[in-house]
Structure formats: structure tokens, C-alpha cells
Amino acid sequence: MDFIKATGELKKEVEDEIKKFFEIELQSVENDVLLDFYKDIRHHTLLGGKRLRPIMCIMAYCGYADYNPNILRVSIAFELLHSSSLILDDSMDEDIIRHGEKTFNAIYADKFLKSTRFDISPYHDGENWIKKDGLSQLLMIQRAISRYSYALSVLGSNILYALSGKAIRSCGFEDKIITKAMMMQREMYKILNEGQLLDILMEQNGGNEDIYFDMIDHKTGILFKYPLRVGLLFTEKADINSLDTYAINLSRAFQVHDDILGVFGEEDTTGKPIDSDIKEGKNTLLVIKTLELADEHQLKKVKAILGNRNASFEDIVEIKEIMKKCGALDYCIKKESEFIKTAKKSIDQNMKEESKIFLTELCDFIIKRKY
């Protein structure tokens, strides 16, 4: 199997199905304000991404059953749900760039600022900063923009979750199986939100490697596990839990690699600022191991730079060198390789050959990707 070619073809089918799904949905929206909002949601969903989750759902299904176009409609539910989680994640993290473009949160911050017609030009003059109530006007508009953009991000995320359920309901399979899939989708969403909660709490309280992977299993892992489970469910032949070990280990490798790319990747390739993880002080595995393995001198520098939003280019270069020298980067590379090895071993040998090859090559792709 030519993995890149095969996934490229399936990606196009998935994206065409998403466009078809949204086209039908948009036709039912009569309110012009809502129509614009739904178009922004569609744009966010189709913006970049590898569509791995829907493709995994399809390939899990095809591992035990002949291809049925109904599974394509089921699969897009996981892209809609993934997009829902990204909107919420970006708004909570106050991220402004994803896939090289503005996040949903940033788009609505811009729209709100334009709608207020707030004139920021006087604040280029130092005199206005010392006038009575001068600074308070800036603080008020900042609070209003933040509140508005966050609120619309939450609503956009909620709508996408609802649409993911609608995609499953409209798939064309038998009602009894759809009901089971809907129950699984709701359980998935609950666990996903638990993962977001654990992520926020770990950001405040810190954590070790075990706490980190518990959070990842709830957040990233669930978005790998359930597409496979639901794909298996619709075959009505396979054990829906048979790929759980594969999903957990693959998702852990995926996230560790993401952590590495978040610091050592190239911004033009990843589509995200490569200094944001350090400036925001995110508790990635790379950071956790750096704090554990750095010597006293290195640790002092790391703590001074980590979480400093005003960190300079030189600061970022220095902390990257420390991550290399103390062994944290090597540890993460070794860890992701261990997860991939376990994932490969756990693939059900009773699956059809094409699906087995796909799942195996997906493992290699995960830790070789540069974006």
C-alpha cells in the first residue's frame, strides 16, 4: 500500500462528505447571522488537518467488512467532534494560530473589535496613558473582546458536537446500531471534556509523567480510540475493544511527537508558533523530563524562561539546547518509539490485509511527520 496516496484519496472523500453535509445543513438555516456563523464553523472544520480520525474509522470498518458508503458519513462525525475540541482548546489556551491561520477565537475577537469601532490610535500617544480613566478604557475593551470571542467559541464548539451526532444519525445504517454509536459518541464527548479539565488543572498544578499520560489518554487518546471502536461496531462482527491497546499507544506516540514538533519543528511546516509551548509554560512530556533531568544550573535557566511570554529568541534557543543536553529530547524520542512498537504488536492479525498494512504504516507516519 502507498500510504500517502491511499490516505490522500480517503482524505478527499472525507472532505467532500463534510462539504456535502454542511451544504445540506446550511440550506436549513434561514437567519443570516446564524448562516454566517455556520459558514465560519465549516471553514474551521475544513481548514488543514490530516483527517486521520475519520480515515481510521473507515479502515477499522473495512478490516472486517466490505466497504459500505454509509461508513463515510459515520466517519465525518469524528472530524466534526475533533474540530469542536480544537475550537474549545484554542479559546481556553488563548491560542491565535492553527494550521497557519487565525483560530476561531481570534477571528471573532477581530470581528468584535471592528464592530465596536473602538479607536486605538490615541494610545500611540503617551499622554493618553496618563489621563484619568485612560487605561481603564483599554482594559474594558480587552475584557469585552475576550468575553465575546470566548463565548462564541464555546457556542461554535457546542454546535459542532451536535452536528457530529447528526452525522451519525443520518448515516443510513440500522437504527439499533446507530443508537449504540450515539451512546458511544456521547461517552466519548464526556471523556474528552474530562481530558480538557485535567489539562487545565495540570497547567496550574504541574504534574509528572503518569499524570501527563492520564490526561493524554482522556484527551488525545479518546479521539483515536472511539473512531476505531465505532468503525468496528458497524461491522457487527468484530470486538469493538480489540484495537484499544493500539489506539492508546498510537495516541501517546502522536502526542509526544506533537510535543517535540511544538518546540523543535518548523513554524512554516507545523502552522503554529514554535515558541508558544515554552512561552506558555505547557506541561508537555518534553518539559516534564527537562525539569526532572536538568542539573541545578540548567534548571535555574529553565524556570526563568518557561512560562515567560516575553522570552526572547535567544531564550528559546537556550532552553532548546538544555532540552537536548539534559537528555529530555532523547527520552521523548525513545518513548514514542516504544509506544509505536507496542501499537504495531497489538494489531489484530485477523483483520483484512489492507487494514493491517494501513494501521502499521500509520504508526510509522505518526513519528516521522513534520506537521
| Residue 107: CATH number of its domain | 1.10.600.10
At residue 86's C-alpha, the angle toward residues 290 and 155, to 5°, is: 140
Given a contact cutoff of 8 angstroms between Cβ atoms, the answer to whether 222 and 188 are in contact is: yes
Residue 135 has pLDDT above 80, yes or no: no
pLDDT, tens digit, for every residue of 107-132? 999 998 888 888 777 777 777 767 76
Closest CA to 56 of 289, 218, 246, 340: 246
Residue 367 has pLDDT above 80, yes or no: yes
Tell me 121's DSSP state. Answer: G
- Comparing 127-141, 143-157, 199-213, 307-321, the range with the smallest average pLDDT is 127-141
Q: Where are any strands of DSSP class E within 18-165?
A: 97-98, 101-102
Q: What is the pLDDT of residue 370?
A: 78
Q: What's the mean pLDDT in 342-367? A: 96
pTM for this prediction: 0.92
Average pLDDT of the chain, as a whole number: 93
Tell me 158's DSSP state. Answer: H
Q: What is the pLDDT of residue 273?
A: 76
Task: Show the domain range for 156.
Answer: 3-368
pLDDT, tens digit, for every residue of 267-320? 776 667 778 889 988 899 999 999 999 999 999 999 999 999 899 999 999 999
What is the count of structural domains for the chain?
1
CA 33, 38, 39, 45 torsion-angle sign: positive
CA 210, 213, 219, 223 torsion-angle sign: negative
Q: Quote the CA–CA distance of 297 and 302 in Å, as a whole number.
A: 9
What b/e sequence results for 162-198 when a residue is b if at least 16 CB atoms lie within 10 Å of its CB, and e otherwise? ebbbebbbebebeeebbeebeebbeebbebbbebbeb
Instruction: List, in sequence order, every residue forming a beta bridge with 102; answer none if it has no partner.
Output: 97
Long-range (24+ apart) CB contacts under 8 A made by 138-144 are 141/113, 141/116, 144/112, 144/116
Count of beta carbons in the 10 Å neighbourhood of residue 310: 6
Q: What's the mean pLDDT in 338-356? A: 96
Q: What is the pLDDT of residue 139?
A: 84
Closest CA to 225 of 192, 183, 259, 179: 192
Q: Kindly state the percentage of the chain with pLDDT values over 70.
A: 97
Q: What is the pLDDT of residue 371?
A: 65
Q: What is the pLDDT of residue 270?
A: 67
20 grid coordinates: 456535502
